[in-house]
Amino acid sequence: MTKTKHEKPPRRVTMTDVARLAGCSQATVSFVLNNATGVTISADTRGKVIEAARTLGYGASSLIHRPVLGSHGTIGFICDQLATTPESVNAIEGARQASWDEGATILVAQTMGNPEREEKAVEAMLRSGIEGLIYMTVFTRQVTPPAFLQGLPVPVVLLNCYAPDSGFPAVVPDEAAGGFAATETLIRLGHRRIATIVGEPFMEAAQDRLKGYKRALAKAGIAYDAGLVGEGNWSPTSGFEATQRFLALKDRPTAFFCQNDKMASGCYNALRDAGLKIPQDVSVIGYDDDELCRHLRPQLSTLILPHRAMGAWAVSELSKGRRFGRDAYPLTKMDCNLIERDSLAAPA
């Protein structure tokens, strides 16, 4: 009887094999396949590593078998602040509705803008198998995205913020267009003496809403008057005090554009204390569509911040399955639409 010769088992595929096929170092392969953070790896190199691992059957990484967004997957959503304003909640709700349509679930983390917390939150989300990440700031602004976002194995979109190099798709409200729409609405009613109470001037939202205000005046041939611009800080008290200063003018305004609804509520109180009726004597328009708009009397006309639509947009971008961080993407701006209630009328 002849002895059967046992065949040698096939050699196990190693990271070295993957590195050789991908044309990179073994360390790079390890970083990619183990979701290492804090290391910047180009999307091109990352794609080559994952493709090489697939080709060779190297199955150590869950990235290789990661499902496509929309097949009951998971989306990560990190925001610097959640509890202080309704904007982040609205954005999450918009993303939630869109993600359910896509068959996905959302994991949410608040980081308070702490870089270490951001990185740890994303690490935890990657371990949970997210297939896309939404990175949001509560105040609209330009940001320098954390370095670890560049090397993530999943697509990333920016919400309510944007990167200087346009390396990620980003969406923000069109604040300048909103300021223009609010002011033009008052002009169409026949107002020429329109005061505006702005927010803190270092914030882009305040700057852009003021730009829109100036543009609407210029379009209507109304001279810009710096004496009709009052500085607030988004609080009811600042709206109250600015309105009192305007009412002390010899030629007082017939309309107020308050650049958020809280300042508009302070404006209401100052007008009432002065014995003026809204809108019979003075028109008032706000911004944000805060819940308090519906509780003021008369109900406040305002512009809505489109954070819910922005959240849905972010999910839609992620569902395209593209890897971001290399190309330049146009900044998407969403309209702040007017909600007309009972605080507007033609000047008496």
Could you give the strand order of the β-sheet that contains 132-142, starting from the edge strand earlier in sequence? Answer: 105-110, 74-79, 132-142, 156-162, 170-173, 331-334
Res 124: pLDDT? 93
Q: Where in the chain is the domain with CATH 1.10.260?
A: 15-65
Q: What single string gives the DSSP state of each residue in 215-270?
A: HHHHHTTPPP-GGGEEE--SSHHHHHHHHHHHHTSSS--SEEEESSHHHHHHHHHH
Distances from the Cα of 318 to the Cα of 10, 16, 228, angstroms: 39, 32, 44
Res 326: pLDDT? 55
- Among the CATH numbers 3.40.50.720, 3.40.50.2300, 3.40.50.300, 3.40.1110.10, which is that of 74-173+307-334? 3.40.50.2300
Res 69: pLDDT? 53
Residue type (1 letter), 222: I
Q: Where in the chain is the domain with CATH 3.40.50.2300?
A: 74-173+307-334, 175-304
Res 341: pLDDT? 95
The three-class DSSP label of residue 282 is: coil
Res 322: pLDDT? 60
Which mean pLDDT values do the consecutive 10-residue runs of the chain (348 residues) have? Answer: 48 73 77 62 70 64 42 84 84 87 83 91 91 94 89 91 90 97 98 97 95 98 98 96 97 97 98 98 96 94 94 88 65 93 96
Distances from the Cα of 23 to the Cα of 52, 57, 131, 273, angstroms: 9, 17, 26, 75
Res 103: pLDDT? 72
DSSP state of 87: H
Res 215: pLDDT? 98
Which fold would CATH assign to domain 15-65? Answer: 434 Repressor (Amino-terminal Domain) (1.10.260)
Res 34: pLDDT? 62
Res 63: pLDDT? 41
Global pTM value: 0.76
Backbone angles phi, psi at 108, to 5 degrees: -115, 140
Res 65: pLDDT? 38
Q: What is the 3-state secondary structure (H, E, C) of the chain?
A: CCCCCCCCCCCCCCHHHHHHHHCCCHHHHHHHHCCCCCCCCCHHHHHHHHHHHHHHCCCCCHHHHCCCCCCCCEEEEEECCCCCCHHHHHHHHHHHHHHHHHCCEEEEEECCCCHHHHHHHHHHHHHCCCCEEEEEEEEEEECCCCHHHHCCCCCEEEEEEECCCCCCCEEEECHHHHHHHHHHHHHHCCCCCEEEEECCCCCHHHHHHHHHHHHHHHHCCCCCCHHHEEECCCCHHHHHHHHHHHHCCCCCCCEEEECCHHHHHHHHHHHHHCCCCCCCCCEEECCECCHHHHCCCCCCEEEECCHHHHHHHHHHHHCCCCCCCCCCCCEEEECCCEECCCCCCCCC
The CATH code for residues 175-304 is: 3.40.50.2300
Are 256 and 283 spatial neighbours (Cβ–Cβ below 8 Å)?
yes
